[in-house]
Amino acid sequence: MNEYYDAIIVGTGAAGLYCALNLPSRMKVLMITKQQADQSDSFLAQGGICMLRGEEDYDNYFEDTMRAGHYENNKKAVDLMIRSSNSIIRDLIRHNVTFERDANGELAFTREGAHSQPRILFYEDVTGKQITQTLLSEAQTRDNIEICEYMTMVDLIAKDNICGGVIIMDEKNNVYPVRSPYVVLACGGLGGLYKNSTNFPHIAGDGLGIAMKHQVVLEHLDYVQIHPTTLYSHKPGRRFLISESVRGEGALLYDKNGQRFTEELQPRDLLSQAIFAQMEKDDTEFVWEDMRPLGEETILKHFPNIFHRCMEEGFDPCKELIPVVPAQHYFMGGIQADLGSRTSMKGLYACGETSCNGVHGKNRLASNSLLESLVFARRVADDIIFAGKPEKCPVNTIDTSMYEDRDAILDGYHKMVWNEIERMKRA
């Protein structure tokens, strides 16, 4: 790791990788991640990625996204995301990303909750892994991209609202100031702050806390999405997601008496509320999901990962009901970013789940996350390429003695974020 790079990207999920791959080879790019490079939430995305299916689908797709977001979405951001979807998919295929195809070799589409029609591309039930691993593998071959694992951003180098790099610490508390005129925060959400979450526990809102410290504008930190169906388990740790696509393909939800109690394809927040209400009514810790209507062939072909995980927990989804419960899943708020993914600090960008550009409003529509991450990651790269000469951060020396205990520093940031979430809930 050097002391200077043309760009620094914090995070190795879909957003960070796609941003790096869209920067020119003449730029020396540093990517850092707290764990292994493949330990990002992008790898966990099961359902798929949305794509506009012709001009006749535009109004419906736009309305589906707005309705799910309770009409708090930024309409310009929604339009940009939808209009960019076809070029993003073409580019992913050019990068050798594989999607399921029908008997004629055409792209196959599935449907998820709150979508008016099938418009979701997928690869089995590991679409996020298929996309992100493909991008990671390519990034690892690029001579201009350096990926450093087990490195944690603990601060920004910034003064006069100009960003000039990051402060990084390794697991042994060694401190590394690294300078760059462009810093991209693509460090994910905040699921690690919650007891029950589908996210990796180390992704806990560090970037949000660091942004707060430097008075970078954030918004809607209380917009936290609960996914309605995760596999119920007594075991501690990350909750396993039962994809929205399962219900999109016909799975049903039952109460303790084996009776349907709600519409399975509602937006996630409304369905989660219905499940919580039914659990309280039945005095249970879960409800039942029935995958049997899909048929064994569809379950084994479309959802092999879900099938094997259910079997590991002692449930055969081809033959019996599986217990499901809502859990924290996604973060719609974050660091305020414009349509170029620029934040309120010069030289600092944010994309992916850590950003808030208004696409999702108050509640994200299923399978818009990967698309949104890629669209606005490419916007970062475009802005860096065409923005002109950056302003120079006036920080000449760094006092590294103030960074002694990485875990203690991160714990402080996590408390800042959690307290702000609670404050916003009370407001």
Tokens of 191: 């699921």
Q: Where does 332-407 show beta strands of DSSP type E?
A: 334-336, 348-350, 355-356
From the list 131, 73, 152, 81, the residue with the least C-alpha distance to 372 is 81
Query: Is 64 in contact with 52 (CB distance < 8 Å)?
Result: no
Query: Is 121 in contact with 49 (CB distance < 8 Å)?
Result: yes
Going by their DSSP bridges, the two strands 224-231 and 322-331 should be labelled as antiparallel
Query: Is 32 in contact with 170 (CB distance < 8 Å)?
Result: no
User: Which amino acid type is present at position 98?
Assistant: T
Q: Write out the DSSP string of 288-335.
A: EEE-GGG-HHHHHHH-HHHHHHHHHTT--TTTS-EEEEEEEEEE--EE
268 a catalytic residue: yes
Q: Catalytic residue among 53, 111, 119, 268, which?
A: 268
Query: Is 247 in contact with 280 (CB distance < 8 Å)?
Result: no
Q: Write out the DSSP string of 113-136.
A: TT-SS--EE-STT-HHHHHHHHHH
Other Cβ atoms within 10 Å of 386 Cβ, number: 8
Question: Residue 93 in 3-state DSSP?
Answer: helix
From the list 5, 400, 399, the residue with the least C-alpha distance to 184 is 5
What's the CA gap between 284 and 275, in Å, rounded?
A: 10
Query: Is 33 in contact with 149 (CB distance < 8 Å)?
Result: yes
Report residue 282 CA to chain centroid gap. 33
* Residues with catalytic roles: 268
